[in-house]
A and B are shown apart, each in its own frame.
Chain A
């Protein structure tokens, strides 16, 4: 039962072999907290809208129109969701180990910078678009991976708090980007917007067939699926989650805890680095300060709402992407400031965390006989301690 309950707490890990009724009940137990939190958010934000003198129903109608209501809006949502999926994995994958990583932003920015350079180098060696794109993705991904793995290694071998380390690494990454783009790597033609030399239109990765959304979406969905499989269906993932559940037990069982920490933080960083590479390869064609987008921080939000479950990252990214897609219509249609969307995201975030806490409490009360071990570390997110 202990293993099964670990699975249950982890979200979508469905009870394949359980009876249908029991399975449905378990599934409901898993999703009821987020559903309640979402409903609470809708009510709270609606109240807020009413207080500032807007009709909540009209606001929600407009939001739906701006995010999922038309084909154009839906593609807008998909486009915005794509980078969130990748940056969220930078937090979600290490999250399964009980680590709180906030470094997606820095890994993304540096990944983008190195991808731009790799693309340029490949182009100058006479490679075609496919090879250029491959080099960009590989170089950007590895850079992001190494960047977060640095914090992972500090955690594993020196006991440095990974949350603080990754947060500070973000500032270093942004400073490095600015330094290189405005200094040694600046394209002399980029006078007033310092940038690296463009990789050229012919080397840009285009849109998905039939969609006005670039290939980043496929990478995002793919990475989430692979991440879920790795974490929930392999021995590697089981070991990782065991560390998250009880690091002492993992050590006693002879798991290579330090190495696993480094590997998983590397994988998370790879995802964020890919997000940066795709920003360059699909949108900007060059590295410059426009890479500092805040997607890394939004990814943290997505990962926590998704309770560190890679599969849940997909729908949560869509919701957050939809909220930001509809933000423009709220501004234009209701004369609301841009911060309105941040208020909504903030309410949602707090509601999810609150529901986690309440859920854990009622859950604990019900199976107080079962749970003996308490969380090994104060900074473990509830999702991985379940």
Chain B
């Protein structure tokens, strides 16, 4: 499980960084999305990996916190998802505006000279 998760984070982050460094705005936005997925998984991993554990105390009895998943990273990741979703949507609008104003999808607003 740890191996799969860390491989997943690594692949997502690696592809994200590669795409961010590309010159087309669409590649950049996909790269940012992949990076934010990697970061979200990373936040979850920082709460220690547990399978099948409830995030909060279940039932009426006072349980041992060791049996439960840490709820805080899950709350953090929820906030992070919402924020990155909103900023990605905003970036899409800017991307379209840039495409419309400059007629190219290069991040510099003009094609490099050959």
Q: Do A and B bind each other?
A: no
Taking beta carbons and an 8 Å cutoff, which residues of A are in contact with B?
none
